[in-house]
Structure formats: structure tokens, C-alpha cells
Amino acid sequence: MARQRQLMKELIDSAARLTAADQAYQEGDILVASRISITVARERPPTPLSRRAKQRLESLVNEAHTKLNEIDTRLRETAAEYSDSELLGMNGPTPGRWKETVTSAFGEYDELCQRYAAVPRTGRKLKAHVAGQRKRPEHAAVLNEPQAAALCDVARQHEQQQQACCAYWAYHEAAQLIPAPSARRAAEQVARMTADPQLMEAALACRQLQECHRWYQRAESVMPTWPERAEELLAQIIDTAPADSEIHRAARERIQAIRDRAH
């Protein structure tokens, strides 16, 4: 009798959970629906309810792949309307319709990955597929363009302020986003600037000072709880920064302050 009551309770609980999963699905919360269904599907020994839960999970697997194929197809069909050079923006602005399609598709991809993340044999496959799509040149050219263009704007601002060394590093970072059109133009600027030995010397010195400032900020953050590590970071600054620089002087003063407190 006790075992029978326990079995009845489990059946009632499972039925309630499946009902909750159905409700979550109807409300568009695939993540919750799949997680609830998994708890029922894993019950041992198998029951009609656990088998029903497995069927629902399998339905979610098929549903996710159907939606994924729909997005893939839309990208392929739109891409077929243009030449490779047009898709990459090599001979002029990237077609507006193509940019809109890519932006919309990857927004849908991201949403799909989030909603079906807990579905067995699906979540990781979706992420891997989208990562592969993101690397395709015709997609990356659109997806990387906003960041590349912003970095080029920063570089041009540095040039206007006669800060060629800072401009070089902004262009250098933008060039890493090829095949975006702005990234290709940034790579041309990097090649031009690299040919100037004096500029490159200044750029390398600029990068060293930037690194020293990061070390200094890190030293300040760990100083209250880990003064030994802070002193190591500050010593790196002294070894790297020019002796007449402000960051070199500040590092020396902070090291002295650490040692004074220790005594």
C-alpha cells in the first residue's frame, strides 16, 4: 500500500510537471519547458509520462533544427542575389538588403541558441553551427563592420589631435576584423604607418606606457589585500617605463609607500 501511494504521488507530480512544461511552451519559454520535460523523461523506471516527455523533447529537437534551417536558407537565398565582391563590400558599399538580412539572421540565431540551450543534443550543436556561420567571410564582413568602423573613427580622431602613435594602434585593432570593409581600409593605413620607422618607435613606446598604466591600475586594486603582488607589478613599471615619465615616478612612490607601511 505504501509503495502504491508513492507511485500515485509520483504520477501526479509528473503529470503536474508536464502540464507546467506545456504552459511554459505556450508562453514561449522553451528553456523552462525543456528543463521540466527533462526531469520527467529521466524518471526510472520508465512510465507513459516519461515516454511522453521524451517525445516532447524530441519534438523540440526537430523544431529547433527546422528553425535553424529556415534561417540558413534565408541567408543562402539572399546571398545568391549578389556577387562575392558585393557581399564583401569590395567595390562599393555593402548592399543594404544583404546587411539587413545578416543582422536579422544572427539576431534570430542568438535567440534560437538561448531558447533551445537546454534541449538534449541540440544546444551545443546550435552554438557550434552559428559560430561557423559567423566565420563565413560574407557574414563576418557585415557583423564586424560596426566595430571596425568605430575603431577607424577613433584612429582618425587621434590623427586630428596629432597622436599618430595612438592612431596606429586603433587602426591595428580595426585591421584584425577583416573582412569588414573598414578593417581592410585600416590594414592599408597600418601598412602605410609601419613604413615610418620614427612613427613605429613612438607607437611601441605608446603601447609600453599603456601596458604600464594597466599594471598600475592592477597594483592599486590588489594593494590593500596583496601588497607583495602590487609591488611586483609596480616594479615591472619601473623596468619598462622611461625614467622621466609620470607613470615611472608614480610607481616608485607607491613602492616606497608599501615599504614604509611594512616597517
What distance separates the 2 farthest-apart alpha carbons in the chain? Answer: 90
Q: What is the pLDDT of residue 22?
A: 87
The verdict on pTM exceeding 0.85 is no
Q: What is the pLDDT of residue 7?
A: 38
Count up the domains in the chain and report the number. 3
Share of the chain above pLDDT 90, in %: 79
In a shared domain, residues 119 and 6 = yes
Contact 72, 80 (CB under 8 A): no
Q: What is the pLDDT of residue 91?
A: 87
In a shared domain, residues 15 and 138 = yes
Look at residue 10 and tell me whether its pLDDT is greater than 80: no
Q: Structural domain of residue 186, as residue ranges?
A: 144-195
The model's pLDDT over 60-103, given as tens digits with 9 standing for 90+, comes to: 999 999 999 999 999 999 999 999 999 999 988 999 999 999 99
The model's pLDDT over 162-215, given as tens digits with 9 standing for 90+, comes to: 999 999 999 999 999 999 999 999 999 999 999 999 999 999 998 999 999 999
Look at residue 111 and tell me whether its pLDDT is greater than 90: yes
In a shared domain, residues 60 and 40 = yes
In a shared domain, residues 166 and 257 = no
In a shared domain, residues 21 and 130 = yes
Cα 111 from chain centroid (whole Å)? 14
Q: What is the pLDDT of residue 3?
A: 45
In a shared domain, residues 123 and 150 = no
In a shared domain, residues 16 and 112 = yes
For 44-54, what is the mean pLDDT? 89
For 119-132, what is the mean pLDDT? 96
In a shared domain, residues 76 and 180 = no
Q: Please give the single-letter amino acid code of residue 10.
A: E
Pairwise CA distance, residues 217 & 233, whole Å = 9
Share of the chain above pLDDT 70, in %: 95
In a shared domain, residues 76 and 12 = yes
In a shared domain, residues 27 and 38 = yes
Look at residue 6 and tell me whether its pLDDT is greater than 60: no
Of 110, 127, 143, the residue that ends a domain is 143
Contact 74, 101 (CB under 8 A): yes
In a shared domain, residues 125 and 41 = yes
**Mean pLDDT (the chain, rounded):** 92
Look at residue 112 and tell me whether its pLDDT is greater than 60: yes
Of 104, 128, 143, the residue that ends a domain is 143
Look at residue 161 and tell me whether its pLDDT is greater than 50: yes
**Of 46-60, 64-78, 238-252, which has the strongest mean pLDDT?**
64-78
In a shared domain, residues 151 and 90 = no
Q: What is the pLDDT of residue 2?
A: 53
How buried is 61 (Cβ within 10 angstroms: 0-12 exposed, 13-18 middle, 19+ buried)? Answer: middle
